Amino acid sequence: MNILEGLNGPQREAVTTTEGPLLIIAGAGSGKTRVLTNRIAYLIREKNVSPYNILAITFTNKAANEMKDRVERQLDMPARNMWISTFHAACVRILRDGADRIGYKSSFIIYDTSDSIALIKSCLKDLNLDPKYYDPKAMLRAISRAKDKLIFPNRFEKEMSSDFRGRKTAAIYKEYQKRLRDLSAMDFDDLIMKAVDLFKNNEDFLAQYQKKFKYIMVDEYQDTNHAQYELIKILSKRHGNICVVGDDDQSIYGFRGADIRNILDFEKDLPNAKIIKLEQNYRSTQNILDAANNLIVHNKGRKGKKLWTNIKDGADIALFEADDDRMEARYVVSEIVSLVDKGFSLSDMAILYRTNAQSRVMEEELAQDQISYRVVGGLRFYERKEIKDILSYLRLIQDPSDEISFLRIVNEPTRGIGDKTIDEITRFARTKGISLYEASKDADAASLSKRQIKNVTSFTEIMDQLIGFKDDMSISSLIEQVLDKTGYSDALKNAGTPEAEARMDNLGELVNAAKEFEKDNPDLALEDFLTNIALVSDIDSLEQGQGIVMMTVHSAKGLEFPVVFLVGMEDGLFPISKALDDPAGMEEERRLCYVGITRAKSILYVTYARARNTYGRVVVNVPSRFIKEIGIAPQHKVYDKSDLRAKREETKPKPKGDYRVGMKVLHRMWGSGMIVQVKDMGNDRELSIVFNSVGLKKLSANIAPLKIEEGENG
């Protein structure tokens, strides 16, 4: 097999340029994986380089395994002697070899994120620090950022000496590292930091690996942080044969510590470096590439390239302006239906958004039309922890005897009610034949300590107050009171992590959902709202593992789809609000949009809403500045509300008559069943159905994939 066969000119040059430093700027869809694997094969077969002398680094196990498989197929030989792995896997091998030099056993254990958080919690306890103010996840994130920059505890302590919170964080970092060493454990960030430290302080040990790795290749170089940069720099110093592959226009992980300067300054660090640009795209139509090129040229911090393709221009990019986010979602659904009619499958399509909170309205509209979907890189909206937590509060307010809800939220957020306290309450409740909530209200009689009684009483007092609110305020206002009175909002704000911010956004969407329900169903109460959500979120009515894909643009990196819907294109949402006054942040947002555009192969939709519900309030939006930069204007068929409503009625599955008690129906998954109750739910109906296979199920008439059995008269 000819290794160079089928490669274009720049690809061939990248494969055959084996000596000295090389930067390959690989545009989206330009075949970079093929170039990397062919380059390894070329070194071994044509240059007679021993597999033992090659190090290839990538970021994910999936990418590493794919590279190994391709190399093995190219050479028709196993890749056992080659180091083709992730940064972390390579560093584990190095550290196992030299662990004794840094005071570790070679059998050290590796802590994952949950292990690290548990250890930080223990450190906080020993340091007498309140986890409410020093959130373990936030502390771990601060420590991780320090390690990414190769900042050890002593240096961190000096740098933070003038700031009170900084001094406390430094103390936590110091104690955390001490405990890790005592346990002979390392976290993921340690693996890189300690490998660099091992090399810098052990010249003989470093020399062994510098001699061994004559040729080093690094994939996704734009995503490297400072520690990874230093590791590669020190390992490649002897032979200088370092090849890095990446795309500065796809550097979107600055929030994780990725430093775009690593790729932008490559030739400054290595003046004799050669740069090869892969600009031919094999994925998308020229219209899509033109949009991407038009956008990214507005960034100043980039190498500069222009994607092109031999694929025809293709369909114009469709731009849709909606009155609000609900109309935006309805438009997307109407287009999905039209595309399916034209022969596209649901798995050909992806809906991409900036934040996970945007998925809620889309999910509801897809469910309304019985369109299967998958949320990738995140949970369905009503399955997210924070949503389930607040819904559990609402269920307990509605029914204080709900033990499942009680157990979920009695110590959420943390209020000092641990397993031992709950065990005592449960024991007391079972003895008296009362609910857990009733038992909690009689904490004095439940054999609890004074501290336990204080914590439990604090909880029941909050709940009593919220229960008292139930009949006197709207559902949305009640949710806001739950967030405030329970300390749930404060706990997320104090965490100060991107995850916590995303959770706050999701809770804002829950308030939006309540306001919409109130508007559509003014006569219905909390019980009906909870029932409606239970029906909407019934994932049993949707097929798993298939359907249209929904995900954030971050999650979509590296993927491709024939059809992409890029939604929520408004200033403040995409680009995100915190980037509006930050030039570096704005450039990263633009790169993120570039990634979103280049996921599309044939058809790209861009949508935005003039008004969007945010935390229960209608916010008027300005179209994203990126739309103007892309150079598109509304040119697709634009519907008004009545048009969309009519289109929905045309495409909506029609039942074969009205559902009524005693009617026999067929469910797509559960087979035959009989309706035993029909309850009006405003614009929907709740159907209680006894199925032969699974027993009683409560389903939404609008969502459930039901057919009326033959023989039933409508």
| Residue 182 confidence (pLDDT) | 87
From 518, 512, 544, select the one nearest 359 (Cα to Cα): 512
Place of tokens 């929030």: 255
Kindly state the tokens that stand for 236: 């490649």
pLDDT score for 542: 38
- Separation CA 413–CA 410 (nearest Å): 8
Q: Is the pLDDT of residue 221 over 90?
A: yes
User: pLDDT digits over 41-53, tens only?
Assistant: 999 999 999 999 9
Cα–Cα dist 382/393, whole Å: 14
**Which of the residues 175, 187, 190, 220 is marked catalytic?**
220
Structure tokens given for 427: 């024991």
- Tell me what pLDDT residue 414 has: 86
Residue with tokens 């969502």: 703
Q: What is the DSSP letter of 570?
A: B
What phi, psi does 220 have (nearest 5°)? Answer: 50, 50
250 among known catalytic residues: yes
Mean pLDDT of 573-578: 93
Are the beta carbons of 452 and 487 closer than 8 angstroms?
A: no
List the end-to-end C-alpha distance of the chain, in Å, as a whole number. 67
Is residue 538 pLDDT above 50, yes or no? no
What is the share, in percent, of the chain residues with pLDDT greater than 70?
91
| Known active-site residue 650 | no
CA angle, corner 178, sides to 94 and 208, nearest 5? 15
- Provide the CA 478 distance to its chain's centre, in angstroms: 29
Q: Which of 34-43, 235-244, 490-499 has the lowest mean pLDDT?
A: 490-499
Q: Is 177 a catalytic residue?
A: no
| Angle separating helix axes 325-341 and 641-651, nearest 10 degrees | 40
Predicted local confidence at residue 687, as pLDDT: 85
Residue 205, pLDDT > 90, answer yes
pLDDT attached to residue 637: 46
Mean of pLDDT over the chain:
87
d(CA 105, CA 114): 22
Tens of pLDDT, residue by residue over 679-692, are: 876 667 788 898 88
Which is nearest to 559 in space by CA: 239, 266, 214, 283? Answer: 283
Position 378 confidence tier, pLDDT thresholds 50, 70, 90: low
Would you say 648 and 334 are in contact if contact means Cβ atoms under 8 Å apart?
Answer: yes
Q: What is the mean pLDDT of residues 268-284?
A: 94
Rounded average pLDDT over 421-436: 87
pLDDT score at 399:
84
189, 190, 219, 588: the catalytic one is 219
Helix, strand or coil for residue 560? Answer: coil
Point out the catalytic residue in the list 16, 17, 18, 33.
Answer: 33
Sequence letter at residue 20? G
| Phi–psi pair at 167, nearest 5 degrees | -65, -40
Q: 714 pLDDT band (50/70/90 cuts)?
A: very low
615: DSSP letter: T
Residue of 39, 305, 599, 612 marked active site: 599
Binned at pLDDT 50, 70 and 90, residue 478 comes out as: very high
Active site residue 214: no
Q: How far apart are CA 378 and CA 365, in angstroms?
A: 18
The pLDDT, as a whole number, for residue 536 is 54
Is 220 among the catalytic positions?
A: yes
As a whole number, mean pLDDT of residues 186-207 equals 95
pLDDT in tens, 257-271: 899 999 999 999 999
What does the pLDDT average to over 151-173? 93
Angle ∠(411,412,416) on CA atoms, nearest 5: 35
pLDDT at 380 over 60: yes
Q: Say which amino acid occupies 298.
A: H
The pLDDT, as a whole number, for residue 539 is 36
Of the candidates 698, 645, 650, 643, the one whose C-alpha atom is nearest the C-alpha of residue 670 is: 698
Mean of the pLDDT values across residues 569-576? 94
What is the reported pLDDT for 367? 81
The answer to which of 59-68, 244-253, 338-347 has the lowest mean pLDDT is 59-68
Residue 695 burial (C-beta neighbours within 10 Å; 0-12, 13-18, 19+): exposed
Omega into 21 within 30° of 0, i.e. cis?
A: no
Of the residues 32, 39, 141, 302, which is catalytic?
A: 32
Q: Widest CA span of the chain, in angstroms?
A: 87
Q: How far apart are CA 449 and CA 446, in angstroms?
A: 9
Sheet holding 274-278, edge to edge: 83-86, 54-58, 215-218, 242-246, 22-26, 274-278
Radius of gyration of the chain (CA): 29
Tokens 């945010």 locate to 614
Q: Is residue 238 a contact partner of residue 158, using CB atoms and an 8 Å limit? A: no
461: Cβ contacts below 8 Å, ≥ 6 apart? none
pLDDT band at 132 (very low <50, low <70, confident <90, very high): confident
Question: What is the bridge-based pairing of β-strands 318-324 and 54-58?
Answer: unpaired
Is the pTM value of this prediction over 0.85? no
pLDDT digits (tens, 9 = 90+) for 103-112: 898 888 888 8
Return the bridge partners of 235, or none. Answer: none
Partners of 623 in the β-ladder? 570
Percent of the chain predicted with pLDDT > 90:
50
For residues 350 and 555, what is the distance between their CA atoms, to the nearest angstrom? 11
Q: How confident is the model at residue 606 (pLDDT cuts 50, 70, 90)?
A: very high
What is the Cα–Cα distance from 548 to 424, expressed in whole angstroms?
48
Judged by average pLDDT, the poorest of 14-23, 303-312, 496-505, 557-566 is 496-505
Q: What is the pLDDT of residue 646?
A: 56
Q: In this predicted structure, what is the pLDDT of residue 114?
A: 82
Structure tokens at 615: 């935390």
Active-site entry in 58, 177, 250, 607 = 250
DSSP string, 158-218: HHTTT-HHHHHHHHHHHHHHHHHHHTTEEEHHHHHHHHHHHHHT-HHHHHHHHHH-SEEEE
Cα torsion 419, 423, 425, 429: sign = positive
Residue 628: partners with Cβ closer than 8 Å, 6 or more residues away: none
Residue range 177-183: average pLDDT? 90
